[in-house]
Structure 1
Amino acid sequence: MTAPTTWRFNFYRMWTGQFLSGITSAIVQYALLWYLTVETKSATMISLATIIGFLPGIFISPFVGPIIDRHNKKWLMIGTDMLTALAALVLAVIGLIGHTFPLWMVFLAMFVRSLAQTFQYPTLQSITPTLVPNTMLTKISGQIGAFQSVQMIIAPAVAGVLFGMFDINYVILLDVVGAIFGSATMLITRLPERLKQDGPVHFWQDMLTGWTLLRKDKGIFQLTLIGALFTLIFMPAGAVYPLMTTQYFRGTVAMASIVEVVFSVGMMLGGAWIGWRGAGKDRGRALFGSILSVAVCGILSGILSRDFTGFILFNILNFFFGVGVPFFNAPFMAMIQERFAPEMLGRIIGLTSMLMNLAGPLGLVAAGPVADRFGVNMLFIIMGVGALVVGAGMLLLPAVRTIDRQPRPVPAEEIPKS
């Protein structure tokens, strides 16, 4: 752990680079989604693109953890940034030369971006508790969520403007600029000397060690399964958000961007509140409140009238939906960072990410056909009803309901050697 007088500067410097990199990456992601929306006008194709983006998280996440725990995290972050930049550069150059590119190339670019993020997310989350005092982890998670929400506020608006003004090939090049920012700040960040683990990476043995530790913490394991179920019912609606505006409310690209911004403003304020005040002494209540907000906002969004008044109400509901999201994400990640040793976090986060990423495509398989046949609003109703079921499950599981009152089950000194 770095000295108390320097940890803030060191940590926020690193996250400034990640913030700038994240903005450019999000702009490109939104631009690619708009490209698919305009070219295909199909919820099924958008769902397919989202599923492709999930594949690395499903099949590679368990193998990523052992690599993160046994190798230099700084160079892993820089290497994956460069991979993202290379994919963007290749896609942009081919588009500039050929004046267009087939949809399969868009899908491939999304796959490569997702592959890089599969490494970056658990790496960053495992770096954080080595730079931040344990007592600040929940607040820091809230602040990170707020920063990411600012990205989400800026990105759709900028993406919509750039997509309308410039060729998609030039917009894609922003990923290269962002990767340079992220790599430069990561390069100068001072990370504590990592605890060395003897021997080479043994993927199956290391994954089994992580799985054993995760299962040993009953509350975190059950909460992970709840998060996976939550992802299952949330992702179908989340994937077709632009179509909710353009098809159901008969709106424009600009109106769809407003919806994204309103949702992100809510997330930013929710994350900022947690960053300032925390999530309370009993964070289980915050988790339940987050699920409940999704239930209420989802059901009401699905039954709105298809006029301008309905669109306004949809934005209001999305604001409160956004406010509630950080009250699940921030406490959940902070709990993981608090309850497991830093040298095991790569494996633990890799496994939890795999479980949640696996749930997303399962829901998306039916999302496209349901939206195409019954309307995108039906996905929001399904999401709301499903969230009610998930919330009821939380109340019925004592290990989840009282998770902040449970002792840490895996002291660092008892970590199995692999």
Structure 2
Amino acid sequence: MRTFLLIWFGQLISLIGSGLTSFALGVWLYQTTGSSVQFSLMYVCAELPYIILAPFGGAIADRWNRRWLIILSDSISAVCTLSIALLMWQNWLQIWHLYLAVAVSSGCKGFQQPAYYTTPTLFVSQKHFSRANGMIQLAQGAGQLLSPILAGILVDIIKISGVILIDFISFIIALLILLAIPFPSVSSSQYLQHSQTSLLDNIGEGWNYIKARPGLLTLLMFFFITDFTIGLVQVLITPMVLSFANAKVLGQIFSIGGSGWLFGAVLMSTWGGFKRKVNAVLCFEFILGLSILVAGLQPSAILITVAAFFAFFSVPIIISSHNSIWQVKVDPKVQGRVFALRGAIAWAAFPLAYLLAGPLADYVFQPLLLIDGLLANSIGLLIGVGPGRGIGLLFNLVGIFVMLATIVAYNYPYIRKVEDDLPDFIKPV
């Protein structure tokens, strides 16, 4: 566990540094262009390469040394970061430079994360898997919460190029830690065995591995469906809040509500979660759905903040428990490709949700709850009418859908009994 904590600490520093750069470059891009479309395109560049390349990254993680895969991926990301800083110092930075650097870093993430997410199985006994996964979620939560605050202060003091330099230093710290720690080999003959097959064959083997285990396959489909609905909420919460409040209130909602992620991650890191991980997944998915439902009930900053806190609180518990199931039930020799394919399929729901969220809100739900809308004198009497209330209705429906999907999942034997039906590949120590 101590060795894992060293690796985790290096990645924590790197995540905070990357968050600083993400915030600073977002500010630079919007101030330079004033375009929401170009700002959104940066997020597409940050997501799409990862989704496309993660299955290949997982296959490579199974046939190559995972430590060196993380080191190489982090090194390329560091070079991209340093390049952006140098271009900015010389006043040569163009929009396409930024898109290219973000896309390359996203592609590196597609190789780094499948290797990094399998490290608990290399260093930690099964009884500490949930705790280790909680630590990983804690690092992500800390990056999301601390980076915007720090970056907002540092941009004024050392400018955007200085913030990017700090990110580069954080990469160096993470790399030095990785260089100092050897990774145990999963199998002495593993790399030779996989070298006889192509990467596409390895990805196909990962899909066949999941497909042959109905419990894992149905659990993956459940997450794809719920991720799609959560993606709708993720995009639309900002316009819903801004329909009745200002940007300062929105920031307070994100800050206070988002602290729930940190609390949930700390809880998982210290407690370790339920003995039956699938019960934790479904229990907190239900709480997540209820929180989304509550957030859409009224245009109230206090109500939305409370709902956001419990929603964010649930996420690290869900992810940590879900990862623990896969880490125990999937053969370590194929975890890289299986985990990467699982992530690519589940995360593919988010870009799809991002594309549909705007049209659904503007052309389907919002007209229903205008003052003279079709539902103004029925549902409108309960949740209100006017700007943003159509999005509130969509939140209500999404929350109800997530809760119903969770109830169905619990009553589906393949999901409820996934921990009983599949053998453990990693035994408690």
Report the TM-score range of the alignment, normalised by the length of the smaller protein: 0.7 to 0.9
CA contact 1:10–1:190 (8 Å) conserved in 2? no
Which residue does the alignment assign to 1:14? 7
Which residue does the alignment assign to 1:180? 172
Q: 2:245 aligns with which of 245, 249, 253?
A: 249
The Cα shift of 1:239 comes to 4.0
The Cα shift of 1:389 comes to 4.3
The Cα shift of 1:242 comes to 5.2
Which range moved further: 36-45 or 231-240? 36-45
Per-residue CA distance 1:367-387 (angstroms, 9 max, x = gap): 344456647771644542442
Cα RMSD over matched residues?
2.6
The Cα shift of 1:132 comes to 0.4
CA contact 1:297–1:384 (8 Å) conserved in 2? yes
TM-score by length of 2: 0.84
**2:267 is equivalent to residue 277 of structure 1:** no
SS in 2 for 1:98: coil
Which residue does the alignment assign to 1:5? none
**2:286 is equivalent to residue 292 of structure 1:** yes
CA contact 1:43–1:372 (8 Å) conserved in 2? no
Which residue does the alignment assign to 1:416? none
Letter of the 1:404 partner, please give it: E
Per-residue CA distance 1:303-342 (angstroms, 9 max, x = gap): 432xxxx223322221111111122101111111111122
Matched-pair identity in %? 23
Letter of the 1:140 partner, please give it: A
Per-residue CA distance 1:259-317 (angstroms, 9 max, x = gap): 33323421122222222333223322211222222222222223432xxxx22332222
Q: 1:313 aligns with which of 300, 303, 306?
A: 303
1:332-351 equivalences in 2 (<5 Å): 332-351=322-341
**2:158 is equivalent to residue 162 of structure 1:** no
Letter of the 2:284 partner, please give it: S
Query: Aligned equivalents of 2:22 and 2:253: distance in 1?
Result: 16
1:383-394 equivalences in 2 (<5 Å): 383-394=398-409
Which residue does the alignment assign to 1:111? 103
Per-residue CA distance 1:159-199 (angstroms, 9 max, x = gap): 23334555433323332112101111111113113413225
Letter of the 1:66 partner, please give it: A
Query: Aligned equivalents of 1:168 and 1:245: distance in 2?
Result: 29
TM-score by length of 1: 0.86
Which residue does the alignment assign to 2:210? 214
Q: 2:118 aligns with which of 123, 126, 131?
A: 126
Letter of the 2:410 partner, please give it: L
Which residue does the alignment assign to 1:395? 410
The Cα shift of 1:204 comes to 2.0
| Structure 2: stretches of 5+ with no match in the other structure | 367-386
Letter of the 2:307 partner, please give it: L
Which residue does the alignment assign to 2:370? none
The Cα shift of 1:48 comes to 3.5
Query: Aligned equivalents of 2:254 and 2:186: distance in 1?
Result: 39
Query: Aligned equivalents of 1:208 and 1:161: distance in 2?
Result: 47
SS in 2 for 1:193: coil
Which residue does the alignment assign to 1:364? 354
Q: Kindly tell me: are residues 283 and 101 of structure 1, through their superposed partners in 2, closer, same or farther at Cα, counting changes over 3 Å?
A: same
CA contact 1:26–1:152 (8 Å) conserved in 2? yes
Per-residue CA distance 1:206-262 (angstroms, 9 max, x = gap): 11221121112221211111111122111233245555555652123xx54433332
Query: Aligned equivalents of 1:237 and 1:162: distance in 2?
Result: 30
Which range moved further: 29-38 or 288-297? 29-38
Runs of 4+ in 1 over 6 A off after TM superposition: none
The Cα shift of 1:363 comes to 0.8
The Cα shift of 1:348 comes to 0.6
**2:281 is equivalent to residue 266 of structure 1:** no
Which range moved further: 221-230 or 280-289? 280-289
Which residue does the alignment assign to 1:54? 47
Per-residue CA distance 1:128-155 (angstroms, 9 max, x = gap): 2010001211222123222322222211
Which of 1 and 2 has greater Rg? 2
Letter of the 2:406 partner, please give it: G
Query: Aligned equivalents of 1:322 and 1:105: distance in 2?
Result: 33
| Structure 1: stretches of 5+ with no match in the other structure | 1-7, 413-418
Aligned residues, how many? 397
Which residue does the alignment assign to 1:227? 223
SS in 1 for 2:118: helix
